[in-house]
Structure 1
Amino acid sequence: MSDADDTPGTAPRSRTALVTGASSGIGEEFARRLAQRGYALVLVARRAALLEEIAEEIRETYGTTVEALPADLGTREGVAEVAGRLSADGRGDAAPIDLLVNNAGRGDGGAFATQDPAEIDAMIDLNVRAVLQLTRAVLPVQIARREAGETGRVGVINVSSLAGEPVVNPGGSVYGGGKKFVTLWSESVAAEVRGKGVRVTVVLPGFVRTDMTRAVQERGLPEFAFVSRAQVVRDSLRAWSAGRSHVVPGAQYKTADGLLRLLPRSVVRALGGRLG
C-alpha cells in the first residue's frame, strides 16, 4: 500500500467493512481507521450499549454509515446472525461486505490440566470456530462478485497472534494452539482464493496495549515489548491491500520471529518453557 492509500477518503464510499470485537482494542482501531478511509461499517461486539456509543461517535467524526450489530460470537446464534449479514450480496437492502476483519477473541490462560472444560470450549468457539464460520459465509459472495466483473479490493483479515509462532506456550496452550491453527488455515485459504481476486491476510501481533493484555502489562515488561494498536492496524491494512497473506506488525517482532525460526526446536521449547 502506498502512503496515499493511508490517507482519509482513499476508499470508495460504496465499500463496506465488517469488524468483529469492535467495541475496544484492536477492533475499535480497525473501525476508526477504516471509517477514516471512507468505508461504511458494520460493527460487531457483545456489549450493545458500548458498541452503539462507539458507532455513534464514528458516525459523527467521520460522516460514514455505521451499523451496530450486537452479537456474542461465542454462541451459535451469534455466529449465525453475523454470518447472515456477511452473506448479503447487494441485491437486498444490505450492502455486501468488501472486507471482513475477524478480530474478536479471548485469551484465558492457565495450565491445561486444570482449566475449566467449559472455558476451553468457549475459547475455541470464539477464537477458532467463529473465525472459520464467518469467513466461510463471506467468501462465496466475494468470489461471485469478482466473477461477475466487480472491481475493487475484497477479502478477509484474520487477527491471529505470535503466541502460536513458533515458541511453545505453557500456560496458554489452548490460546496459542488455536491461533496457530488460524494462522495456517488462513494462509491455506489465501492460496485457494488468490486466483479469484480475493485477498486473505493473517496478522500475527506480539504484545499490544489492550485490555486483553493488561495482566502482561502489569508484569512490568519494557516499553519496547509492545506495539501500538495503530501500528497493528496500519501494517495489517497495508499488507492486505498489497495482497500479502501474512504480516507480523512491528520491527522488533519481525526480527524475533525470523530468528526463532532459525533455532533448533529443542532450543525453542526450552525458551518457551522459561517464558511460560
Structure 2
Amino acid sequence: MVTKGDHLEDSLPTSPIMLTRIATNGIEASVATAGTGPPVVLLHGFPHTWQLWREVIGPLAMRHRVIAPDLRGFGASTRAVDGYDAGTLAADLEGILDALGEPTAAVVAIDAGVPAATLLALRRPDRVRRLVVMESLLGSLPGAEDFLAAGPPWWFGFHAVPGLAETVLIGHEAQYIDWFLQAGTRGRGVPPEIRDAFIAAYTGSEALRCAFSYYRALPASARQLDDAVARGGLAMPTLAIGAHPVGATLERQLRPVASDLTGHLIPDCGHIIPLDRPQELLDLLVPFLALS
C-alpha cells in the first residue's frame, strides 16, 4: 500500500521529490521518489536518511525513477522492535518495489545499506538489474583482512553493546552525529539543512536504539551473506566505489563473488561520498546505470 505524501519545496521543478509511506514487511517505510524511467533505488547508511542523496537525486531523476527510502528504524520509517538484519531489510526493499509496481531496479547502496542490497541481489537476481555498492564491508567475506588488521572501527563495538550507546549519548546526539559528518567528509562538512535533518532523525533513545540495532544484527547479516554466496555469486553488472577509509576493501571482497565487477576509487573523498563528492559520484553512476 502506498500513501501519498508531500512535494518538497526545494525540489527540482521538473522532477519534484515526493515523500510517500509504503507498507512493507510489517512496517511503514518513508520513501522519497522522483522522476520517471528505469527505476533506481538508493539506500543510505548511518547516520543518514534518504536526504543523503539530495545532491544526486535531481540529476538521476532526469533519466530514472529514483526511489530513496528511509531504512527500517531510520528517519520517518517505522521504528521497529527488530528486523535489522540484512535479510529482513532486503525483504523490506522487495515490498517497496512491489508496492510501486517495479519488478526490477538498479540498486545503489552505501554503508549500512550495502549488506541488504547485496543480499537482495544474491537471493533475487531477477529483481536487481545493476548493483552499485560503496564504502562498506560485507560480513566475513574474504578480502577485508588488511582493513581489519587493527580491529574494526571503534564505534562498531560501542554500538553493538545492547542498551549502552543510546543511554550514554542521550542529550549529546548532535555532537556525536557531527563527529561522523565531519570525519565522513574529511572535515568539509555537509550542508546545514541536511546536517540538521540527520541530527533530528537520530535524536532520542528510540531513534538511537534503531540505529545501533544495525550493528547488533551484523553477526546475523554476516551469516546470511555467507549462506547466499555459498549458493551462487552475483551475475549482474556490479560497481564497487571506494573512498576514505574503506578504499578498495569492498571491491576485494566482491572480486571472487561477482562475475562482472568494476571497481573505482574516488580520490580525496570522505566516506559520505554522495555529499562529499556528488559530481564525481554522478560521473560514475550516470553511465553505469544507463547501460542495458
Q: Same fold (TM over 0.5)?
A: no
Q: Which has the higher contact order (CA 8 A, sep 6+)?
A: 2
> Which TM class, normalised by the smaller chain length?
0.3 to 0.5
TM-score (norm 1): 0.40
Higher normalized strand content (fraction of residues): 2
The structure whose Rg is larger is 1
TM-score by length of 2: 0.38
